[in-house]
Chain A
Amino acid sequence: DAKTTQPPSMDCAEGRAANLPCNHSTISGNEYVYWYRQIHSQGPQYIIHGLKNNETNEMASLIITEDRKSSTLILPHATLRDTAVYYCIVMVLVLTNAGKSTFGDGTTLTVKP
């Protein structure tokens, strides 16, 4: 599985957009980009995923570069509750095999009032 690189920490003002970058230069053609976030002492929660097209859901937007070597998670209007550790991982999911991924240290996002 390809590995990812994220900045260790970022700050964002409440109400502003938070843009979290992720590098995944060794991503394979069939690997998806997934984002999760982990609030202290809880299990990580799914945010969004994509293969090559940009994606948007009720939580966030995901922008994937054309060469797929990097992506950006966008929280359009950050709130204090968005303070968490954000993980970017890449993985392929095949029903008959266990997709298994490496979670790095993620990016600790601190939203400030």
Chain B
Amino acid sequence: SQTIHQWPATLVQPVGSPLSLECTVEGTSNPNLYWYRQAAGRGLQLLFYSVGIGQISSEVPQNLSASRPQDRQFILSSKKLLLSDSGFYLCAWTGSGKNGYTFGSGTRLTVV
């Protein structure tokens, strides 16, 4: 069965520090991968998506970047975090199945 792993679950980072969030998918090949961010009490904002290794599309210009070094690995990064980067980050994938998105459990990032 397909599973998606996202870590860490929570993270507190100082302003100006770097960030690396990792997401991996198991049990499928060539998934479409996504990073979403959710502000408190709000919906999901699509940040990046990828249809293949090394292929990244950015939806919102910002302080973040994404990379896909392997087929089932998606990484969200920042060189210098801002206070406004705080939020709930969700990784997701879609594939050949018809159930649409499968989301990870999320990372709650607090920039202090």
Task: Please give the residue numbers on chain A whose beta carbons come within 8 Å of chain B beta carbons, in ascending order.
Answer: 32, 34, 36, 41-46, 49, 87, 89, 91, 93, 95-106
Contacts and interface: CB of A to CB of B under 8 A. Distances in A.
10 contacts: A32-B100, A36-B101, A44-B103, A46-B99, A49-B99, A93-B94, A98-B49, A99-B94, A102-B46, A103-B43
A49 B88 CA distance: 25
Given A91-B100, A98-B49, A43 B94 contact: no
A106 B90 contact: no
B43 A97 contact: no
A99 B32 contact: yes
Interface string B94-112: 1110111111111010000
B59 to A, nearest CB: 8
B92 interface: yes
A24 B88 CA distance: 26
B24 interface: no
Interface residues of B, number: 31
Contacts of A104: 43
Residue in A42, A100, A104 with the greatest tally of chain B CB atoms within 10 Å: A100
Secondary structure call for the A interface:
loop
A45 B90 CA distance: 12
B28 to A, nearest CB: 12
A26 B89 CA distance: 28
A25 B106 CA distance: 31
Given A97-B32, A105-B41, 7 more contacts: A34-B100, A36-B100, A41-B88, A87-B44, A98-B51, A100-B34, A101-B101
